[in-house]
Structure 1
Amino acid sequence: MEGAGIQTPGATAARYSYLFPIGYSNSSECGYCRQTRSGYSYYAIATSLTPAFYQKLVDRCWRRSGSLLYRPNQKHSCCPHYTLRLDSTQFKPTKDQRQAVNRFNRHIVGETYVRDAARLHPRSRAEVRRRHNVFDLVERIHEPEAELLKSPPSPDHVFTVTLEPDTFTEEKYQVFENYQRIVHREPPDRISRQGFKRFLCGSPLTRETMTGPDGTERQLGSFHQCYRIDGKLVAVGVLDLLPDCVSAVYFLYHESIHWLNPGKLGALREIALAREAGYRWWYPGYYVHNCAKMRYKIEYKPQYVLDPEDLRWYLLDKEALALFDTGHYVCFSGRTGDQREETGAPAVMNSIDTESSPKPAPPPLPAAAQTAAPDPIKARETDQESGGASPAEEDQEEDEDDFEDDFEDEDDAFLLASNMPGIPSLEEMRQVDMDGLVLRSDFSNNLIVASHLVIWDTEDIAQFGTLKSRIAELVAAVGPDLIGELCIDFRKRSS
């Protein structure tokens, strides 16, 4: 029997991440400059993602918007996207950032509390000297929290911060609606509960815990970091907590606290979380050099930029930033002998948020991902048993219910024939063994081995639009080395 001897996933099925391939397509509009037909990205829909798998995707230029995953082509974009990360253990707040924290803390506790607490709970001379000479970010960021304040006296306000599941509540939506309408000046007819749910709630990331090298447990998955003053929700940080990073998805706040610099405070609290909980790295999202509203991200140092071609990290120093002004597309791995991470010296290749923490709207789905199609998978004699571990069902908006395997739109292209940085070529993909890749279909409750498909030996990955070429595109986009962690999920979205 063909495929005999391949081990079934059984209880290990939960280790897979489940992705549906949409394809390589031109976006309808850029979220930064609003240019139409602004550049190509590879798109996929995630049904279920392990935090470890998504960490690897983020480290390969991917990001998510709800359950939509995308990897942009920096060479073919009006606004090239570059992944950044900051080392929280090396971070030193600037004077302006320190002042923002101190100003907020004094607002919460009040001048009376500061004066009376100094009398009732005096600090030693050594402690006063230490605080004067050293700004401990973790210590200062937690200082105004109600549960940590000494009493008496009583502070002017009760401030709490909680890490909560990324579920929808009306309380969160009211803050989102106010933020989008007042701060981002979004038209009311473009703000909806369904959009909030799709974009910022119900992440495909599975929620787990892991034990770090120091023996402490870290939470993994998607969360809402909720800020409350006197019991009222005033801000929400949407976070993906991954094995090696705190990834900032979005930050929103009520306009009534705009004067308190909430975007800056949120970023500093996320950096503090990365440091104290052992994640180490803080990912602020994409950096878009020609978008002035993104410049706030580089105010936090030291940051590193991910090179799109060798997928290694390079220090984002003054010299590196200057290179963004010399060419549309920047590659940091062009010089022989470059030192990465600590002292990366980038090279340029010629190409063919402000305080309110602005981040782009969810990228529009490509035209090829709008409608439904028959399930393309039929197995041969034997399927792999799924072991009962199924990916979480998603509450998708109407335009994500079903997807068509019709990629005939004029703005769709073949990824393996593109010039996308960091992607294997067609010839390189021919050398990749995809026979053991597992798939999921509406036709079976079991996982299917790719080599068991009727068409597997008759189709060629160079035949654009065929099932095998679609699978090869997704494998190339995520990386052939991740085949063992990936399940191609061809089930209908409504299932």
Structure 2
Amino acid sequence: MAAGGSYSIVEYFGGDGGYRCGYCKHETGNFSHGMWSHNMTVQDYQDLIDRGWRRSGKYVYKPVMDKTCCPQYTIRCHALNFHPSKTHKKTLKKVNRFLSKGEMPVERHDEGREGLLEDIKGRLKPFSSILQRTVAIAAGKTQSFLSGEPMVSAHEEGVHPPPQDPLEADHSDVQDISTSPDTDTTNSSAPTPAREDAAPAPEEKTPNVTPKPGKGADPSRPLGRKAKDIRKERRLQKEQQKQPEAKSSSVDPSPSKSSSNQPKSLEEFITESLPNDPLHRLEVRLVRSNPPSPQFKASFDASYQVYKLYQMVIHKDPPDKPTESQFKRFLCDSPLEAETAPDGPDVGYGSFHQQYWLDGRIVAVGVLDILPSCVSSVYFYYHPDFSSLSLGTYSALREIAFTRQLQKQSPKLAYYYLGFYVHSCPKMRYKGQYRPSDLLCPETYTWVSIERCIPRLEISAYSRLNENAHEGDACALKELGRVLVLHRRTVMPYVAYARKRKGSNDEKEVEQYASLVGQTCAERILLYRA
């Protein structure tokens, strides 16, 4: 229960039907459980996403991992230990060149997003008709409960769960991750000819024998060596020669960059090469979206216009599809309560928009949830004119840096959640490049490093990631009777509700719901019963 004494209130929809998959395009292969959240505390949502749930607007869903065609694994990045890859650094330098000098990269197709575009388009369609019917009754349900008025169920109104998983975050761009700069490109199988700077062959014990044809290399000549090893040896020799010179040249020499083994931090890469007076000024502003702050309200139309352009140009939506009401439902409405805590970040917990202002106008927006243990990325959109800047990658890096900033105020807030990792869809594997990162085991709900998961996922799209066969779900359902329900404006355990509702046949549905949210959440969250 939240600090203010309020409960999370949900309606469970189940998830027996199969729907079109946005990843592999299977017409009936997508399976997920869903529930409508009228109200949600940040701790309850934190616990739910740590059991594989995600939200879109007020709809909360969980893929049926062992049944759906493209299993979606919750992924989190260890923000404090994150080090940008070669591609990440290139993106940061590209944006900084644009800000400092106005250099705009050559336009290119945003291949990394392609896998999600049709997925989103398919998901929006069923939401539009369903949520139009629910938005009116959903808005007042929590207030009805608090004021003592009877709540109207979505089931009573004839509303059913959306047949597709809702929107999820996407921070991809062209993500051809380069190999390590230390990768040796020489042909290791070919012998390297002896060079003048190579170590001489020993003169003693060298037999003066001419080998017969086909019997191997000439033992009278030096052994072949890799060019990489020779270069390394030469580098060491030069460093050894410089050491005595450095000692005698100065009493207190200033350390050079090469002498430091500390890599640059993410924050240093973000601000690297930016002059004091750049050609373009970029400002990142955090505004609370629920309840909407004055800053959010003042910038709402400008933010919506960027979203509309993004949908039309990037997603190829017709002009009448990305409506203002749709934008509100999916990217502004949130069930999360705004909360503050003594050990929490100064901005508080809840739902926010992180706006990217370039020279006084919004060019991109990241939709975020700030939770007790993480920053969770919900969605990201940008002005199509700036698509060549790889803003998807850039925003993810900024959000990781933001998580690190919040962690200084709230020590346990140390993770950045990127949504779902879909290994069976190659275009969605880019999320695994933000390392170190973990995937959530779908059976034990424990975290496993992605390096250990990938070999298993290469064999099977669905896999139990936890290798310990004896470990189970620590929050597995044990007592159905302790599940909290809300019935006729009264909070009661399920055992009391079952006695009151003689002949009630919803035990199977309640048991399924409780097993999915876990015993801990089931005893805190109110399950609405008509």
Which position in structure 1 is the counterpart of 2:288? 165
In 1, the alpha carbon distance for the partners of 2:433 and 2:30 equals 27
Query: 1:201-240 alignment to 2 at 5 Å?
Result: 201-212=332-343, 217=346, 219-240=348-369
Contact 2:314 2:384 in 1 (8 A): yes
- Confirm or deny: 8 A CA contact 1:440 1:487 kept in the other structure: no
Q: Deviations over 1:220-273 (max 9, x none)?
A: 111100001011100000011111111111111011111111001001011111
Matched, 1:485 2:529: no
1:56 lines up with 2:28 in the alignment: no
Q: 1:323 to 1:452 in 2, by over 3 A?
A: closer
Quick one: higher RCO (CA 8 Å, sep 6+), 1 or 2? 2
Contact 2:484 2:524 in 1 (8 A): no
Is the Cα contact below 8 Å between 2:444 and 2:474 reproduced in 1? no
Secondary structure in structure 2 of the residue aligned to 1:227: strand
Query: 1:424-463, aligned counterparts within 5 Å?
Result: 432-435=479-482, 437-441=484-488, 444=489, 446-448=490-492, 450-453=494-497, 455-456=499-500, 458-459=502-503
Cα RMSD (Å): 3.2
Deviation at 1:302, TM superposition (A): 1.0
Q: Which runs of 5+ in 1 are unaligned?
A: 1-8, 113-123, 339-420, 461-465
CA contact (8 A) 1:101 1:141 kept: yes
Q: Does the 8 A contact of 1:456 with 1:468 survive in 2?
A: no
The 3-state SS of whatever aligns with 1:228 is strand
Q: In the superposition, relative to structure 1, how do residues 437 and 128 fare at CA in structure 2: closer, same or farther (>3 Å)?
A: same
The 8 Å contact of residues 369 and 376 in structure 2, kept in 1 or not, is answered as: yes
Structure 1 residues 321 and 453 mapped into 2: Cα distance closer, same or farther (>3 Å)? closer
Aligned length: 368
Structure-2-length-normalised TM-score:
0.63
Q: Of 34, 41, 44, which residue of structure 2 is paired with 1:43?
A: 34
In structure 2, stretches of 5+ residues that fail to align are 104-252, 408-412
Partner of 1:473: 512
Counterpart contact for 2:79–2:415, Cα < 8 Å? yes
- Deviation readout 1:76-118 (Å, 9 max, x if unpaired): 0111111111101111111221121122123213389xxxxxx
1:28 match: 19
Rate the CA distance shift 1:180–1:482 in 2: closer, same or farther, 3 A: same
Q: 1:175 aligns with which of 277, 301, 306?
A: 306
2:374 match: 245
The SS at the match of 1:86 is strand
Contact 2:42 2:350 in 1 (8 A): yes
1:61-140 to structure 2, matched below 5 A, reads 61-110=52-101, 134-140=263-269
Could you tell me which amino acid in structure 2 is paired with residue 320 of structure 1? Answer: C
Does the CA contact (< 8 Å) of 2:304 and 2:327 recur in 1? Answer: yes
The answer to whether the 8 A contact 2:481-2:493 is kept is no
Deviates more, 1:225-234 or 1:285-294: 285-294
Structure 2 distance, partners of 1:459, 1:476, is 22
- Structure 1's 231 and 65: CA in aligned 2 closer, same or farther, altered over 3 A? same
Give the alignment partner of residue 454 of structure 2, picking from 316, 321, 325.
321
Separation in 2, partners of 1:478, 1:50: 14
In the aligned structure 1, how far is the partner of 2:382 from the partner of 2:15?
34
In the aligned structure 2, how far is the partner of 1:241 from the partner of 1:326? 35
Q: Deviation digits for residues 326-356 of structure 1, max 9, x if unmatched? A: 1131111244589xxxxxxxxxxxxxxxxxx
